[in-house]
Structure 1
Amino acid sequence: MRDVELVAVTKRYGSALAVDGIDLAIPEGSYTCLLGPSGCGKTSTLRMIAGHEMVSEGEILLAGRNVTTLPPAQRGTAMMFQSYALFPHLSARDNVAFGLRMRGVAKAERLRRADEFLDLVHLGPLADRLPAQLSGGQQQRVALARALITEPRVLLLDEPLSALDPFLRAKMREELKRLQRELGISFIHVTHSQEEAMALADLAVVMDHGRIVQAAPPRQIFERPASAFVARFIGGHNVLARGAQAISIRTDRCRLDDGAEGPRHHGHVRAVEYLGAAMRIVVVAEDGTEAEAMLPDSTPPIALGEAATLTWNAADEHALAA
């Protein structure tokens, strides 16, 4: 079963083409991340699924039903915005209950259900607090509970973690994945963070200039990027020329020359970064081509400007599409 299907979906803003005839099938009960650089079309795609932007061409189907022209409230989706958009004068409980209030659900019932969903996101004891009395992470959980209380078939998340500090971002990733698995509904999550997509997604959809350039499980994208753009955007890869062909090689598969057989990249050390469990070095060849390696933290110190050669096993090279 497919929860969401996009068929030749295009979005134009005047003469500007934001989304260019994309096709995408999102399996039922999956966690999908749309990712790519700013302006790639990922947020426009999410907003068209939600019904907050009209489709210029193509169709959107939810659970096999054509919803292309339906308003947001009739689609069976809920959206969690980047800004959280909480009402500052309402308590956490009343913020969560607001959607049910708009549907005419009786006060006692909507407040009871609001408390259930606050418990689901571990905020039950803070139900009476105003948004200003909550941390950023707690506000995000309120916004998440408010979106989930309407029992959508698909939850849409627009860069929900971007405002959080790195530690809290990692904790909230765990929470989002837990909730998606427990509830069994599809989450579609827009992000520009490769790490976020790798941690969360069952299906990662990489976009560039309004088109989908690769859609696959994150491990497949990391191990077999479809193009030089994907390899560079996902990170952790060197993209190098091999005659008329481009290849990628993972930075964690590169090592300092140890005399073993294999391809080589000669040059001088341009950067050295100590990252705790690993050390990152960048080696620049005479023609300006850069390659980097993630080395064990036990690697002896390397000086900037020092001559260095990186090597790897030829079997670890991955050929890239033109």
Structure 2
Amino acid sequence: MSTDSADLELVALCKRYGAGTPAVDAINLQVRAGSYCCLLGPSGCGKTTTLRMIAGHEVATEGDILLGARNITDLDATQRGTAMMFQSYALFPHLTALDNVAFGLKMRGVDAATRRKRAAELLELVAMGAYAARKPSELSGGQQQRVALARALITNPKVLLLDEPLSALDPFLRVKMRAELKRWQKELGFSFVHVTHSQEEAMALADQVVVMNAGRIEQQGTPHEIFNAPRTEFVARFMGGHNVLPAGGAKVAVRSDRTLLSRAGGAGLAATVHNVEYQGTYVLVTLASAAGEIAAMLAEAAFDAAPWSPGEAATVSWQGAHAHALQS
């Protein structure tokens, strides 16, 4: 199955509630047709408000939302060519899986035979054909999510909007459904815009990661670009896996797996081991220093050859090539 896709563009998009600080502050964003975009950031950063403005569930205070050649800023949600999959799934408890999926076409006046046939096809697509007659209470969380996805797809959207769709699932199922979402997006061929606060989720799924902070876009790029070249201290700390360290009057980001430890007295930053955690393939050593907390990921074999214990003095260093300068 595939549908026509279209570029999505946000132009100086703003959302204010009253006279306070904008929830979304004049952001500009292009999501190319057929891509998987994750809006990533902490609670309150504006990512869900942005998604709801794209969907038509929030009215934009200023700016424009363009989908292909159409300006959809002021259109009703049903006229935009978008579909939204909610965090809660929002399935009707009294309807079967089949009728939940078919509901969007029922509201558009499509006859019963046509809408049920289409709903059955979509349930098969998400591997839920055998559960068509079950009601939501008879389905697991992962099964409910599949039904919600099929329901969102039935109107043939150009962009599918997903509001933290994996947050209600247990960790094992979350990883499994992550792979399924990526596969479906590739098979369907249109854009997914996915809101999450999980760095791991965004990096696993997205072609384009958009890191938001206080209503603004802090950085956008591929997962590789964002992780390996964070632009600001906020991005480096939020993405995790980095230390923010002083270097010649500026600050640099150094990945935790490229942060070097040596016994006290060597050249580098003085620190004290605070905690040691065995993580299987590596050992995570956290240290206290004048620059703040520092984390070092040591290969298991390297740690076993020269173990560290809480309270030990250490020197932290890094190779210049592994330090990425941050904007002030």
Same fold (TM over 0.5): yes
Among 274, 282, 285, the residue aligned to 2:286? 282
For residues 38-187 of structure 1, what are the structure 2 equivalents within 5 Å? Answer: 38-187=43-192
Measure the CA separation in 1 of the matches of 2:127 and 2:276.
42
Alignment-derived partner of residue 317 in structure 2: 311
Most deviating of 101-110 and 178-187: 101-110
Among 7, 10, 16, the residue aligned to 1:6? 10
User: How many angstroms does 1:288 deviate by?
Assistant: 5.5
Measure the CA separation in 2 of the matches of 1:50 and 1:2.
15
Alignment-derived partner of residue 237 in structure 2: 232
Measure the CA separation in 1 of the matches of 2:190 and 2:79.
17
Measure the CA separation in 2 of the matches of 1:36 and 1:204.
10
Q: Is the counterpart of residue 272 in structure 1 residue 276 in structure 2?
A: yes
Instruction: Report Cα offsets for 1:135-188 as digits up to 9, x if no partner.
Output: 101101100010011110000000000111111000111010001000000000
Measure the CA separation in 2 of the matches of 1:94 and 1:213.
42
CA contact (8 A) 2:263 2:315 kept: no
Q: What residue identity is the alignment partner of 1:4?
A: L
Structure 2 spans left out of the alignment, 5+ residues: none
CA contact (8 A) 2:120 2:129 kept: yes
Q: What residue identity is the alignment partner of 2:122?
A: F
Alignment-derived partner of residue 293 in structure 1: 296
Among 233, 243, 250, the residue aligned to 1:245? 250
Measure the CA separation in 2 of the matches of 1:227 and 1:234.
11
Alignment-derived partner of residue 320 in structure 1: 326
CA contact (8 A) 1:222 1:231 kept: yes
Measure the CA separation in 2 of the matches of 1:2 and 1:140.
25
Q: What residue identity is the alignment partner of 1:276?
A: G
Measure the CA separation in 1 of the matches of 2:320 and 2:54.
43
Measure the CA separation in 1 of the matches of 2:109 and 2:54.
25
Measure the CA separation in 1 of the matches of 2:320 and 2:116.
62
User: How many angstroms does 1:289 deviate by?
Assistant: 2.2
Q: Is the counterpart of residue 190 in structure 1 residue 195 in structure 2?
A: yes
CA contact (8 A) 2:286 2:295 kept: yes
Measure the CA separation in 1 of the matches of 2:115 and 2:268.
65
CA contact (8 A) 1:2 1:25 kept: no
Structure 1 spans left out of the alignment, 5+ residues: none
Percent identical pairs in the alignment equals 61
User: How many angstroms does 1:2 deviate by?
Assistant: 5.6
Q: TM-score, normalised by structure 2?
A: 0.94
Measure the CA separation in 2 of the matches of 1:256 and 1:209.
35
SS in structure 2 of the partner of residue 20 of structure 1: strand
Instruction: Report Cα offsets for 1:14-73 as digits up to 9, x if no partner.
Output: 123101111111101100000111111001100000010001011110112111110100
Aligned CA distance change for structure 1 residues 204 and 118 (closer, same or farther; 3 Å): same
Counting matched residue pairs gives 319
Measure the CA separation in 1 of the matches of 2:247 and 2:66.
43
Measure the CA separation in 1 of the matches of 2:198 and 2:296.
21
Measure the CA separation in 2 of the matches of 1:306 and 1:55.
55
User: How many angstroms does 1:110 deviate by?
Assistant: 1.0
Measure the CA separation in 2 of the matches of 1:233 and 1:2.
31
SS in structure 1 of the partner of residue 230 of structure 2: coil
User: How many angstroms does 1:250 deviate by?
Assistant: 0.3
Instruction: Report Cα offsets for 1:172-216 as digits up to 9, x if no partner.
Output: 110100010000000000000000000000000001011001010
